[in-house]
Amino acid sequence: MAENSASAHEPYREGVPCWVDAQLPDAEAGKRFYGDLFGWTFEEAYGSSVWALLDGGPVASLAPKTDGRMPTVWTVSFATPDAAALGRRITAAGGQVVVAPYPVGGLGTAALAADPEGAVFGLWQAGTHRGFGRRHEPNTFAWAQLYTRNTAAANAFYGDLFHDALFGAGARPDFGRADVSEVFAPEMPPHFLTHFRVADLDEAVGAVQRLGGRVQGPPFETTYGRVAVVADNQGASFALLER
């Protein structure tokens, strides 16, 4: 659904995935890849990052890696009204704060955390930037899947941390948990996989390959739709979701 109602200007409920960003060796190449794949346009954001837009609504950001040792990844961020307080709760529950909360101009406050198994995710405390302007529609964020080696422990950790977003009145969860599968290399640690919705999965998979990306997991059925796991032409993994 497009986030174009009056509520589109209100902060997301704590625990709702509210933003995704890609750290890439070459952000310009990323703009060409994702612009062609999803029809995104781009504008300067904060620092060296750029916002990806769909029909004028912000859907993601791309940034050049400042350190070659950093992974080439998509990171999902969860909304919170207080990043510092959420960081303390994460630590108390056995996770860790990887990057302490820091201001991003007037846009908001960001942080990076990891769950007890080491899966990394972002925190976003909105300022002038709420997060997604469009989501749950073709060529926008649709789902975040946590691949874990201990599903029960992950359910307990995130269920306690983000109870209202998962189980509260009117909750519409858009992230789930699953066991690490054979789609990924045996050494792959627990991680979140960002899913972008597409109108035609087979066509989108073909476009990924045409643009120099690769297919890590061919289309398969899930409880939340038909999915393929792919990587862009710089190695950042993500998923395509048709539903």
Percent of the chain with pLDDT over 70: 93
* Low-confidence winner among 1-5, 31-35, 90-94, 235-239 (lowest mean pLDDT): 1-5
User: 203-238: string of b/e by CB count within 10 Å (b at 16+)?
Assistant: ebbebbeeeebeebbeeeeeebbebbbbbbbbebbb
- pLDDT tier for residue 185 given thresholds of 50, 70 and 90: low
Mean per-residue pLDDT over the chain, rounded: 93
Q: CATH assignment of 13-242? A: 3.10.180.10
Q: Which residue has the tokens 């862009």?
A: 232
Q: Can you tell me the mean pLDDT for 210-234?
A: 95
Q: Is the pLDDT of residue 3 over 90?
A: no
Tokens linked to 240: 């395509």
pLDDT digits over 130-165, tens only?
999 999 999 999 999 999 989 999 999 999 999 999
Percent of the chain with pLDDT over 90: 82
* pLDDT score, position 4: 41
Say whether 229 sits in a helix, a strand or coil: strand
Q: Is the pLDDT of residue 206 over 50?
A: yes
* pLDDT score, position 6: 36
Q: Is the pLDDT of residue 20 over 60?
A: yes
Q: Is the pLDDT of residue 182 over 70?
A: no
What is the value of pTM for the model shown? Answer: 0.93
Q: Is the pLDDT of residue 101 over 60?
A: yes
Spatial distance between the Cα atoms of 230 and 219, rounded to a whole number of angstroms: 10
The residues with which 134 forms a beta bridge, in sequence order, are 2
